[in-house]
Amino acid sequence: MEGMTTPGNDPYLISRERLIHAPAGRIFDVLATPALHSVIDGSGTVRGEQPNGPARLSPGARFGMDMRIGAPYRILNRVVEFEEGRRIAWRHFSSHVWRYTLEPRGDATLVREEWDGRAVPWRIVFRLTGFTCRHPASIEATLGKLEDYVLQQRDAA
């Protein structure tokens, strides 16, 4: 895949990068809009476009999402890192973090998505149940969907 890299080897910090030919602000707006998370989700676990919470995320914002891994459930997330146009991350009760960082590169943006489970006391469960094995492919798929969505919106404008 063009623009895709795989930094690091820590099984509890899974990260992928993609160079997307769009401004960081446009990409960040998608990431900061919970209603679009199901549109760009590459794991197939985020459901619906009606999350509970704000229309746009901000520092400390709380938002709920419908999920499905086997059975449907609802999860409450809190934004734990936020730098407008550059970084956004959220976590829920299990303490693992989903993080996006954006680095402008000329007319493109290097987007890094990370699943960070290093702070989870029982993180070995993620490995034993296979979650850490599935995350790389899911993250790559999410970055691909993010790129497709952002470029489609640009072309429609």
Give a yes or no: residue 89 inside a domain: yes
* One-character DSSP codes across 2-62: TT-B-----TTEEEEEEEESS-HHHHHHHHT-GGGHHHH-SSS-EEEEEEES-SS--TT-E
pLDDT for 84 beyond 90: yes
Lowest-pLDDT range of 21-35, 49-63, 70-84: 49-63
Q: How far apart are CA 96 and CA 92, in angstroms?
A: 7
Give a yes or no: residue 21 inside a domain: yes
Q: How far apart are CA 120 and CA 96, in angstroms?
A: 6
Stretch 128-157: mean pLDDT: 89
User: Which residue range is the domain that position 102 belongs to?
Assistant: 13-156
Number of domains forming the structure of the chain: 1
Proportion of the chain above pLDDT 90, given as a percent: 60
Sort strands 97-105 and 87-91 into parallel, antiparallel or unpaired: antiparallel
Give a yes or no: residue 78 inside a domain: yes
CATH number at residue 140: 3.30.530.20
Proportion of the chain above pLDDT 70, given as a percent: 93
Give a yes or no: residue 2 inside a domain: no
Q: How far apart are CA 64 and CA 114, in angstroms?
A: 20
50 pLDDT tier (thresholds 50, 70, 90):
low
45 pLDDT tier (thresholds 50, 70, 90):
confident
Stretch 73-88: mean pLDDT: 95
Q: Which residue has the tokens 């997330």?
A: 77
Give a yes or no: residue 124 inside a domain: yes
pLDDT for 3 beyond 60: no
Distance (Å) of CA 1 to CA 56, 86, 146, 147: 31, 23, 14, 12
Give a yes or no: residue 1 inside a domain: no
Which pLDDT value is given to residue 2?
Answer: 44
Give a yes or no: residue 121 inside a domain: yes
In contact, 49 and 40? CB cutoff 8 Å: no
pTM: 0.89
85, burial (CB in 10 Å: exposed 0-12, middle 13-18, buried 19+)? middle
Q: What is the mean pLDDT of the chain?
A: 89
Give a yes or no: residue 3 inside a domain: no
